Structure 1
Amino acid sequence: MVIEVEAAEILFLDTQLRSGWGRDFFTIEPPFIPGVGVAGTVVELGEGVDENWHGSRVVGSTSGVGSYRGGGYAEFARTVADRALMIPAGVEAAEALAAVNDGAMGVSRVDRSGLRAGDTALVTAASGGIGIWLIPLLTAAGIQVLAAARGPQKIELARERGAAVAVDYSENGWTGQLGEVDVVFDGAGGALGQQAATLLRRGGRFFAYGASAGDFTDIEALAAERNLEVIGINEDFTDEDAHRYATQALRLLADGSIRPVIGQQLPLERAAEAHAEIERRRVVGKSVLIP
């Protein structure tokens, strides 16, 4: 199907791929159009697609799990019907974008965490797109949430979302302000993720789904020493899983269980400015482009 785009999602990954990072993980040859998450109205259908989709307001991804086809930063974008979801009544296009990638990942990580009421979890990049889902979801399940973010504005947002403790991980010795945890949800990667992993109890779980610090976290030696389970971003995660969890995330937006945070919303022609703000770590929450 072809979607007339009302809003296009910006991922931190978009900024990294644009800069040249990640060619070992994604097959991309410049020039390419960035972006995977789009929301808007279906204006054209491919052969065999149910006619009921025509004219519907939908949100979806241009790419499958583990791939990056791009094409989202545009007035019209193409996706397959199996990756599209109806936008619930009362949910804006920009808000729906928070569900398709970040929401699906957040809901799935909590579902697979094995955490029970009374357990403790650490969320890094706590005020990023996935972190702002994780904190309220975990808190609602009775999990004590420790949050690590950069700067006072992001720390305050983590507290507002429900974090019991929030610390600034740009400060030396930040892990000393926290105790042991059962699970780490790591959206930072790099050295920050490695530092976070040192707080895990023996037999704990480490979810690696981000590399905002520059690269993914390598904790192989620590994992072997402490019998840790490390779960990568696409490990045992299929397109069907992504669709199912995104559906759940949209439902949480529709019933008000999760409040989306749109940190910046700019016209499509200002995409370079939007990327620059993200790279300077000035954005709290989701970034969206409007064609």
Structure 2
Amino acid sequence: MQAIQITRFGGPEVLLSADVPEPAVPADHTLIEVELAGVNYADTHNVDNSYMTEAELPLVPGTEVYGHTADGRRVVAIVDSGGYAQRVAAPSRHVYDVPPDVPGPAALALPVQGLTAWHLLRTAARMTAGESVVVHSAAGGTGSLAVQLARIFGAGRVIAVASTTQKRALAERMGADVAIDGDHRGLADRLMRANGGNPVDVILEMTGGHVFEASLDALAPLGRLVCYGMASRLPPRPVQPGRLMSTSKAVVGFWLQHCMDRPELHAAPMEKLLQLVREGSLKPLIGRTYPLSRARAAHEDLRARRTVGKVYLDPAH
């Protein structure tokens, strides 16, 4: 079958089309004929082996798919790897049925990015109604859903951060009260001005480096800064415990992997997210679909911030 395989670590240039063996299907797995594979920023880290866990070569990247099973079920699924392919075997406990009235692209926005946005707000930040919420990379797949969910969960003010005028306008159309430029220079002041001159309660941050430090400066006492990525590939300076104690600020890390062995933390939220999409309350931002053979271009565009919303690969092309 056709897939994208890497045999050495590196940038997007190592993503090559290959003819690979059909996947083995253990008893607790479900074979899925892939119609769309989701592309996530974490995939770029897997490809250069800079993610939280060591990758092994050869590797077929991709951690989420939409497609159908042999008995005709429309499903989305989370997999450890192997999603950039025509077929994949997914752990059955991580396979979710898609309602007939939910389009496949919208459903595929939910397993990784939707669940991440949900838990960033609910589990990691423990956001309460009335709090101010900052969403960095607000026009991306996770960010665009987090903007909407923050509004659904009753945020008092949603502040979007994005790199271009077009992306900021898009974030405002999706429910942000205000959208600001993401340049780290002067960012802390812009965040507080966007919140009426006050520090903010919750910040969802996936860039790292200078953006992390500016975000921490803008955080209110008892506020929570949730880190779920390192897109800049620049580590922030160490945070001294005394700085946190003296300001009553919290820095929280989040990785979706830690939710996947607990059904109440993935199956139940997935059901609710699909319900919100069916109701029209949550509208995944559908981005560009690339042919599977152009996975390199998808990664190049993602790393260069040329994409918006959910990005897909189509194994049929």
Is the counterpart of residue 213 in structure 1 residue 240 in structure 2? no
Q: Paired residue for 1:270?
A: 294
Q: What SS is found at the alignment partner of 2:141? A: coil
Q: Paired residue for 1:160?
A: 173
1:1-291 mapped onto 2 (5 Å cutoff): 1-22=30-51, 25-43=52-70, 54-63=71-80, 70-112=81-123, 113-143=125-155, 144-170=157-183, 172-179=185-192, 180-215=199-234, 220-221=239-240, 222-234=243-255, 237-239=259-261, 240=263, 241-291=265-315
- In structure 2, the CA distance between the partners of 1:215 and 1:99, relative to structure 1 (3 Å rule), is farther
- In structure 2, the CA distance between the partners of 1:190 and 1:245, relative to structure 1 (3 Å rule), is farther
Q: What SS is found at the alignment partner of 2:109? A: helix
Counterparts of 1:59 and 1:245, CA distance in 2: 14
Output the TM-score relative to the length of structure 2.
Answer: 0.81
Whether the 8 Å CA contact 1:101–1:246 is kept in 2: the answer is: no
Deviations 1:73-123 (A, max 9, x none): 000011111000001112222221111011111122222333333221111
- In structure 2, the CA distance between the partners of 1:218 and 1:251, relative to structure 1 (3 Å rule), is farther
Counterparts of 1:214 and 1:159, CA distance in 2: 28
Q: Paired residue for 2:20?
A: none
Query: Match of 1:271, as an amino acid?
Result: A
Deviations 1:133-186 (A, max 9, x none): 111121233310111111112111111111112111126213212221011111
Counterparts of 1:141 and 1:266, CA distance in 2: 33
Say which is worse superposed, 223-232 or 138-147, in terms of deviation. Answer: 223-232
Counterparts of 1:125 and 1:55, CA distance in 2: 36
Query: Match of 2:254, as an amino acid?
Result: I
**Identical positions, percent:** 30
Counterparts of 1:182 and 1:12, CA distance in 2: 26
- In structure 2, the CA distance between the partners of 1:194 and 1:246, relative to structure 1 (3 Å rule), is farther
User: What CA RMSD, in Å, does the superposition of the two structures yield over aligned residues?
Assistant: 1.9
Q: Paired residue for 1:66?
A: none
Whether the 8 Å CA contact 2:120–2:254 is kept in 1: the answer is: no
Say which is worse superposed, 113-122 or 150-159, in terms of deviation. Answer: 113-122
Q: Paired residue for 2:9?
A: none
Counterparts of 1:153 and 1:195, CA distance in 2: 23
Q: How many residues align?
A: 273
Deviations 1:200-257 (A, max 9, x none): 1112112111222225656632434423222211386343212322222222112211
Q: What SS is found at the alignment partner of 2:185? A: coil
Structure 2 unmatched ranges of 5 or more: 1-29, 193-198
Whether the 8 Å CA contact 1:42–1:58 is kept in 2: the answer is: yes
Output the TM-score relative to the length of structure 1.
Answer: 0.87
Query: Match of 1:76, as an amino acid?
Result: R
Q: CA deviation at 1:32?
A: 0.4
Whether the 8 Å CA contact 2:114–2:145 is kept in 1: the answer is: yes
Say which is worse superposed, 170-179 or 192-201, in terms of deviation. Answer: 170-179
Whether the 8 Å CA contact 1:123–1:187 is kept in 2: the answer is: no
Whether the 8 Å CA contact 2:162–2:182 is kept in 1: the answer is: yes
Q: What SS is found at the alignment partner of 1:89? A: coil
Whether the 8 Å CA contact 1:9–1:289 is kept in 2: the answer is: yes
Structure 1 unmatched ranges of 5 or more: 44-53, 64-69
Whether the 8 Å CA contact 2:49–2:55 is kept in 1: the answer is: no
Whether the 8 Å CA contact 1:262–1:285 is kept in 2: the answer is: yes
Counterparts of 1:231 and 1:134, CA distance in 2: 16
Counterparts of 2:231 and 2:300, CA distance in 1: 14
